[in-house]
């Protein structure tokens, strides 16, 4: 597991901030460049109401290099965070931006009361799986034919209560 303190040095020139409506076209461009079946614009518009919708921008410019969307699902007093979407522009990958966004979202979800965080990832997306597992997510189960194109999904869970992460 990679310590979140290590993340800061990897993306020192990034600012993480809340997404605004004016950012949505840039975010849609990143989504389309990142996924074969991208979310539509309307989904991002609706996500503006989610508790975590963050963008990573370069410190010297306002260019958006990545984003993350997450929400909280009530679960009988054990609220669960849900990472719904995470993407980094192809030209900005392998610079720690995705990891920085992920850690920031984990902290915000924990601060809002989440005790676990879940996400779905394509079974063939090894780079995403590697990122998630490096911060402590574990595979919970496999869902056959989860995606529209028939690919399986892995459901990953991060248990904040049973890890050192909960103190973040």
Q: pLDDT tens digit string along 70-113?
A: 999 988 878 999 999 999 999 999 999 999 999 999 999 999 99
| pLDDT on residue 164 | 53
Q: For residue 86, what pLDDT is reported?
A: 97
**pLDDT, tens only, 19-73:** 999 999 999 999 999 998 899 999 999 999 999 999 999 877 788 999 999 999 9
CA 132 to chain centre: 9
Q: What is the pTM of this model?
A: 0.88
With 50 as the cut, is the pLDDT of residue 7 above it? no
Element (H, E) at 88: strand 80-88
C-beta separation of 80 from 117 below 8 A: yes
Q: What is the pLDDT of residue 47?
A: 96
> What are the structural domains of the chain?
4-119 (3.40.630.30)
CB count within 10 Å of CB 28 equals 17
pLDDT in tens, 121-151: 999 999 999 999 999 999 999 999 999 889 9
pLDDT at 12 over 80: no
pLDDT at 3 over 60: no
Q: Which residue has the higher pLDDT, 1 or 131?
A: 131
- CA 142 vs CA 59, 71, 129, 152, 154: distances in Å: 39, 22, 13, 7, 5
Question: What is the three-class DSSP state of 50?
Answer: coil
């Amino acid at each position: 597991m990679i310590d979140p303190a290590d993340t800061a040095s990897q993306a020192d020139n990034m600012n993480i901030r809340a997404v605004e409506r004016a950012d949505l076209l840039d975010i849609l461009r990143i989504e389309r460049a990142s996924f074969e079946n991208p979310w539509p614009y309307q989904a991002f518009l609706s996500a503006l109401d989610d508790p975590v919708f963050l963008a990573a921008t370069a410190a010297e410019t306002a260019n958006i290099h990545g984003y993350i969307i997450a929400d909280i699902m009530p679960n009988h007093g054990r609220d669960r965070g849900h990472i719904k979407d995470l993407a980094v522009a192809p030209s900005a990958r392998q610079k720690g931006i995705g990891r920085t966004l992920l850690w920031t979202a984990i902290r915000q979800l924990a601060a809002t009361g989440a005790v676990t965080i879940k996400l779905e990832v394509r079974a063939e997306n090894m780079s995403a799986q590697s990122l998630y597992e490096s911060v402590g997510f574990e595979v919970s189960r496999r869902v056959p034919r989860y995606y529209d194109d028939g690919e399986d999904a892995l459901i990953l869970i991060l248990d904040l209560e049973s890890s050192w992460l909960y103190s973040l």
